Structure 1
Amino acid sequence: MNWAERTWTEFPADLAAAKRTALLPIGATEQHGPHLATGMDTVIADRLCRKVAERSGVLTLPTLPYGCSLGHSRRWPGTIALQPITLITLVKEIGDWAYHSGVRRLMIVNGHVTNAAPLRCALEMLRAEHDDLMVAVINTAQLSERVRKSHASDGQDWHANRAETALMLAIAPETVRGDAINGADDPDRTNGLIFSHPVNRTSTNGVTGQPSLATRAEGTQLFSWMVEDLSLLVEKAKWETPPLEQSYFEEAPHFEDADELPATAAGGTEAK
């Protein structure tokens, strides 16, 4: 159910079968230390959404390979970063066109931590414009408690760490420079800090964590958890409806004077 491989004549039936649900994978192109390729976040988001689409029958839109990676600085070559407003605009416009193709449940699957704030802004804009569009932002490293725990096993401010290296060993080993893993470990220096510092001030080599501990078996297990946990969320999302049906654009009733107010609003009481 890859959006880019469908024709326009197939979308109505595709979306009907998928309860009008689609995934939008968002990655990044940024340095991941001396041992991982710059497209790591994009690979995870893309592979994860493709697997989940196969399981659940929903459509997955083409993966966006750029994100808000400004925090990685210009110290290490390879990073291609979007400004937050650019990412907001891109995702908003992608969502607009997906809506006009028939999507009514859009799940933005984010593979890069600092995309989260711009993606939340795009969510706010999309749901304010399209009254019957439901939007979610789901961060791949936060899919469930077991996924969160695995990602943060060697540092709270992790990057190119044990978990990410294990994932790449499992799903894209050709992108891993095995001879550079040993010696790439760099500790999390952010514990107790008040300010959020860019990576050039927290890491010596672009890594935070212990990639030397990563194994392919660990990555295979972690990726299977991510597929399973996102699939469960998608299945639930396919059937979700808003708790209330009030229109975003419908104003509350106006009352000219106290005599028109319901008893409780006018200071009275109503029978329970």
Structure 2
Amino acid sequence: MFLQNITMPEFSRALIKTQSAILPVGVLEQHGPHLPLGLDAMHATMLARRTAELHPCLVAPPLNYGLCRSTSQHPGTVGISANTLKMNIHDISLGFYGQGIKTLTILTGHAGGTHQAALLDSAEEVLKETNLEIAVICVLDLFDQATEFLECKGDSHAGEVETSLAMHLWPELVKGSAKEEYPTYPRFILVRDKVGHWPGGVWGDPTKASREKGEKIFELEAENLVKVIKDLEKRAA
């Protein structure tokens, strides 16, 4: 059930059936020359809604902004600080807890390490303050079985996986493809010219993408996310 579309009485009735909620999180970030800037939040939201079709849970409106470091200088990327992200997650989580939610799954479509660290740090604080059962999950961790049919090893951003998902979920938003590319950031060293080390904004090979792969990945993600939510619900019982 998508919370932004229901009424106050409908929310009260929904709580009788489930006290589990999913909060999709993304970023406004470049995704190569061929994919939309909002793909991460769009992906997390669509996955949350598909999961709710398979198992009763409430789907919150997405948090569309997150922490972007390596793509911060690319055209179209608009990020927020770690502190801002942490406060958003903290306050939203407490808000759901106050409304009777017992389990909260923070589902991020953005896989940036600093972004995920901020989510985890904030969720740990909520864990100390409440009895809310919480999971923090990146979409990329939900389709391990997909290695059977994926061709590009090390794919991470705007490559085979995300292009396949976009071809399945929003084919009208896919603007062609892009060449295989990987960032050249030096290990350990922070760089000022981020675009110079990653000009195309692709991490992987979009030419290996297909709609069929996207559909398989998406369904695997939903099935595995249901398992996590069921585990949370056992802990909250």
Deviations 1:49-77 (A, max 9, x none): 01111221110110111111132022x21
* Structure 1 residue 188, shift from structure 2 partner: 5.2
Query: What secondary structure, in the 3-state scheme, does the structure 2 residue paired with 1:240 have?
Result: helix
Q: Is 1:208 the counterpart of 2:206 in the alignment?
A: no
State the match for 1:29 in structure 2. Answer: 28
One-letter code aligned to 1:117: A
* Structure 1 residue 218, shift from structure 2 partner: 1.0
* Structure 1 residue 229, shift from structure 2 partner: 1.4
State the match for 1:171 in structure 2. Answer: 169
* Structure 1 residue 4, shift from structure 2 partner: 1.2
Would you say the 8 A contact 2:20–2:102 is kept in 1?
yes
Query: What secondary structure, in the 3-state scheme, does the structure 2 residue paired with 1:107 have?
Result: strand
Residue 77 to residue 2, structure 1, CA distance change in 2 (3 Å): same
State the match for 1:230 in structure 2. Answer: 225
Would you say the 8 A contact 1:27–1:110 is kept in 2?
yes
Equivalent pairs counted in the alignment come to 234
State the match for 1:43 in structure 2. Answer: 42
Deviations 1:89-148 (A, max 9, x none): 111111111111111111101110122111001101111111x2111101111024225x
* Structure 1 residue 9, shift from structure 2 partner: 2.2
1:120-199 mapped onto 2 (5 Å cutoff):
120-130=120-130, 132-147=131-146, 149=147, 154-156=152-154, 158-178=156-176, 181-182=177-178, 184-187=179-182, 189=184, 193-195=187-189, 199=194
Alpha-carbon separation, structure 1, partners of 2:188 and 2:78: 27
Larger Rg: 1
* Structure 1 residue 195, shift from structure 2 partner: 4.5
Would you say the 8 A contact 2:103–2:133 is kept in 1?
yes
RMSD: 2.3
Is there any run of 5+ residues in structure 2 with no aligned partner, and where?
none
Query: What secondary structure, in the 3-state scheme, does the structure 2 residue paired with 1:113 have?
Result: coil
Residue 206 to residue 144, structure 1, CA distance change in 2 (3 Å): closer
Deviations 1:218-269 (A, max 9, x none): 1111111111111222223222248xxxxxxxxxxxxxxxxxxxxxxxxxxx
Residue 157 to residue 223, structure 1, CA distance change in 2 (3 Å): closer
Would you say the 8 A contact 1:67–1:82 is kept in 2?
yes
TM-score normalized with structure 2 length? 0.90
Alpha-carbon separation, structure 2, partners of 1:161 and 1:120: 26
State the match for 1:73 in structure 2. Answer: 72
Residue 120 to residue 169, structure 1, CA distance change in 2 (3 Å): same
Which structure has the higher relative contact order (CA within 8 Å, separation 6+)?
Answer: 2
Would you say the 8 A contact 1:70–1:82 is kept in 2?
no
One-letter code aligned to 1:122: S
Q: Is 1:52 the counterpart of 2:51 in the alignment?
A: yes
Would you say the 8 A contact 1:159–1:207 is kept in 2?
yes
TM-score normalized with structure 1 length? 0.79
Would you say the 8 A contact 1:26–1:65 is kept in 2?
yes
State the match for 1:245 in structure 2. Answer: none
